[in-house]
Amino acid sequence: MSAQRKGRRRRSYKKVVLSQSGRRDVWLVAAGRLVSLLGTACVLVTVAGVIVQRQLTHAAVAALAVGVVFAGAGAFFEIAYGGVAARREEKDVRHRLLESVFGSVQLPTHQEEDFDSARTIQLMTDNAERLTEYRQTYFGATVAAIAAPFLTLAYVAIAYDAVVGLALMALCPLIPYLISVFKKFFRQTSANSRSERGKLAGEYLDAIRNLVTIRLLGAGPRVEKHLREQGEKNRGAIMKLLAGNQIVIIVMDGLFSLLLICAAALLTVMRYHAGALTMSESIAIMLLTSLLIEPLVQVAGFFYVGMGGMAAERAIGRYLRTHPIPHAHSTRHISPASGGISVENVTFDYGRGEVLHGVSLEVPAGSKVAIVGRSGGGKTTLLSILRGSLPIQGGHIKIGGRNIADLQVPDIRALTATVSQNTWLFTGTVADNVRIAAPEASEEEIWDALRRVHVADDVAAMPQGLYTDVGEQGVLISGGQAQRLSLARALLSGRKILLLDEPTSQVDRESERAIIEAIKGFGPEWTLLIVTHRRALLEVADAAYEMKHGELHPMELSEGALR
């Protein structure tokens, strides 16, 4: 890829990732560094005059005071404002990533290896922090630091001697050139460090998600050993990166700064003896030489802050480009659908052969329709298409009279409410979990939803009622209670079309009976499509179908079908 094309991609990533205020903050930090350097230069030139004159005049005192104020104010602004801007932009980046995750207009493609759960979490945490540290605190200051030698030598060339100024200016491009050379040399080391860090995050996330299974199977020591080994690989990768960083610091500080200072001293002395410079000007140039090595101060952080930040920016930019945030008019303005579901000749293929073969189904408004069948028959695939988790590949589907092919994914999801077989409760209270579908719901509305799903008495008997903590993933309540809370959450969402995916598969017989009685009580204002392999649920159905090998067949609702 050409350098020009890479530059365009970097600029496009920056526009996607950084907000407008974030891009402005970068240059405000750069301005702070330049103001600080200007003040420092004023102090150095004034000191040179004082040394030669051997007296401190009122003008010199004033110049020193102005220089110190500018240097101090600029440095304070750069550090303080840069830190505040980084935290503000970090929140904004995370907000946009979350908005993209929860409301992406693109459907899953089952090809998300680059952005699995662990990598997505890493984008929102480590990468978001690295990006904003790089852009808001490091990049602007580095641009100013690189500009400092050129500005300083331009002043020397104009105010003192063009030969010294231009000759030293010819050496300055070596700094960014050497940085780019070292960047290419250590790019793989930096990439290895990021890769090992991502693997470690993924391993820890898997261990935490499967903690119960690991403990039940007695696999703790093996998993601990594996995590320790992965942690050691990550530590080794970081140490290699830091070792490379130290090599760069030694080379740049030890060789280049020495070369630059010696060249400046030699040229200044030669021009002084040639009569082109006065003693005061010569001392001023020598003092200003300290500003020529300003870029080298930034080199120390380049291979850890700089390269890590650029890689984070590319990763976040790729994610936001491939997972665009929906337009504001989408889900926010669409009303929940009421009515029925119409499925006509729907097909679906995961890439391994068709799973659904011309499926057609009618769920009239106000009815309760059940689909039964063995696992792997295609029931959940059909439900996933209806709720917007999978794209419609062939056929036509209307929900509440709306053709889902004409809608964006958030709009499809807004038409129905889903109760999944694996209920997920957030850490918090009963009220917190039910209100996630309706944040403004009153306590009475919550109690009404709980009564409808036959769990109100259970909640009332809890120590703190609605404000009882359910624990992580609902561990402090029973599976049946958790499933009924999920059903109450769906009711409270205001959506009148409910998709129930195996609502009783993870509960005991008593809880199953409570859920069945709750579903029986739903009036004609509700339309239900129930996917299940438990035939006991058929007693609530107005019509039933059996899914076999991706094909849907009507069933007789007889006594035998209920067993």
Predicted local confidence at residue 332, as pLDDT: 45
Q: Tell me if 310 sits within 8 A of 130, measured CB to CB.
A: no
Q: Per-residue pLDDT for 333 more than 60?
A: no
- pLDDT tens track for 13-39: 556 788 889 999 999 999 999 999 999
Predicted local confidence at residue 254, as pLDDT: 64
- C-alpha to C-alpha distance for 391 and 393, rounded to whole angstroms: 6
Q: Per-residue pLDDT for 284 more than 80?
A: yes
Task: Give percent above pLDDT 70 in the chain.
Answer: 86
- Please state the rounded mean pLDDT for residues 390-402: 89
The 8-class DSSP code of residue 124 comes to I
Predicted local confidence at residue 89, as pLDDT: 93
Predicted local confidence at residue 120, as pLDDT: 80
In CATH, 341-562 is 3.40.50.300: yes
In CATH, 3-98+113-322 is 1.20.1560.10: yes
Predicted local confidence at residue 201, as pLDDT: 75
Q: Per-residue pLDDT for 328 more than 60?
A: no
Q: Per-residue pLDDT for 534 more than 80?
A: no
Predicted local confidence at residue 140, as pLDDT: 92
Q: Per-residue pLDDT for 1 more than 80?
A: no
- pLDDT tens track for 33-44: 999 999 999 999
465: Cα separation from own chain's centroid: 36
Predicted local confidence at residue 108, as pLDDT: 47
Residue 154: how many other CB atoms lie within 10 Å: 13
* CB-neighbour burial class of residue 148 (10 A; exposed 0-12, middle 13-18, buried 19+): buried
Predicted local confidence at residue 331, as pLDDT: 43
Predicted local confidence at residue 516, as pLDDT: 87
- C-alpha to C-alpha distance for 275 and 440, rounded to whole angstroms: 82
Predicted local confidence at residue 273, as pLDDT: 92
Predicted local confidence at residue 342, as pLDDT: 92
Positive or negative, the CA dihedral 250, 252, 256, 261 is negative
Q: Which one is predicted more confidently, 209 or 196?
A: 196
CATH 1.20.1560.10 range(s) for the chain read 3-98+113-322
CATH 3.40.50.300 range(s) for the chain read 341-562
The pTM score is 0.68
Q: Tell me if 237 sits within 8 A of 188, measured CB to CB.
A: no
User: Mean pLDDT highest for which of 55-64, 198-207, 294-303?
Assistant: 55-64
Q: Tell me if 418 sits within 8 A of 482, measured CB to CB.
A: no
- Please state the rounded mean pLDDT for residues 280-301: 83
249 sits in which H/E element: helix 220-251
What are the start-end ranges of the H helices in 274-418? 279-292, 294-301, 307-322, 330-333, 379-386, 409-413
- Please state the rounded mean pLDDT for residues 249-277: 82
Task: Give percent above pLDDT 90 in the chain.
Answer: 27
Average pLDDT of the residues of the chain: 83
Q: Per-residue pLDDT for 167 more than 70?
A: yes
Predicted local confidence at residue 109, as pLDDT: 46
Distances (CA, A) of 56 to 48, 59, 286, 527: 11, 8, 20, 90
Q: Per-residue pLDDT for 85 more than 90?
A: yes
- C-alpha to C-alpha distance for 412 and 392, rounded to whole angstroms: 11
Predicted local confidence at residue 169, as pLDDT: 86
Q: Per-residue pLDDT for 329 more than 50?
A: no
Quick one: pLDDT band at residue 87, thresholds 50, 70, 90?
A: very high
SS3 content of the chain, % helix, strand, coil (to 5): 65, 10, 25
